[in-house]
Amino acid sequence: IYITHPSRAFRDEEGKSFWVEIEIVDNYRYPSGNQGPYHVTTTLLVPGNYQGDRTIKQNQTYSLPGKHRIKLPTVGVRTSGTVLVEMVDKNGLYFSDDFSLTFHMHYYKLLKWLLVLPMLGMFGVLVILRPQGAVPLPSFSRNND
């Protein structure tokens, strides 16, 4: 079993749920057939700063090898997590694969740029519109030489 490359790509998840695509590979020869049923456990591991369950598990049983999609819930806080996919075939052989991802991180990156870009814009305007010649500072004294 392995997680396909589009699902494995490091990404930031938002919303209520996300999809993970797995592929069960069974290359046994024809007379022995496949090694199904395949018992797949998908676990979402969340670090300690999340207030809910630290592990969210789902169990599925597949009878045939191939590509399958699994829907997992997202967590409601800004954090990172690991998706662990484990499989046991009819002979008791264990296989696993995992990948990491983040939840709700890009929102704060956007907020950071919304604060930084106006300051950079004003700095650019001040640099462009600075006085071109040596202009004396205005004097408010009564000395009118």
Span 58-82, pLDDT tens digits: 999 988 888 999 998 888 777 888 8
Q: Are 17 and 71 in contact (CB under 8 A)?
A: yes
Give the Cα separation of 80 and 30 in Å (integer): 43
Give the CATH class of 2-104: mainly beta
Closest CA to 45 of 101, 106, 105: 101
Here the tokens at position 10 are 């490091």
Span 88-117, pLDDT tens digits: 988 888 999 998 888 877 666 677 788 888
Give the Cα separation of 126 and 5 in Å (integer): 48
Give the Cα separation of 53 and 65 in Å (integer): 31
**Burial label, 80 (beta-carbon count in 10 A; 0-12, 13-18, 19+):** middle
Taking the whole predicted model, whether its pTM rises above 0.85 is answered as no
Lowest mean pLDDT among 14-23, 63-72, 111-120, 134-143: 134-143
Give the Cα separation of 42 and 40 in Å (integer): 6
Predicted local confidence at residue 48, as pLDDT: 65
Here the tokens at position 18 are 């996300």
- More confident of the two residues 33 and 46: 46
Per-domain boundaries in the chain: 2-104
Span 37-51, pLDDT tens digits: 889 999 988 876 656
Predicted local confidence at residue 86, as pLDDT: 94
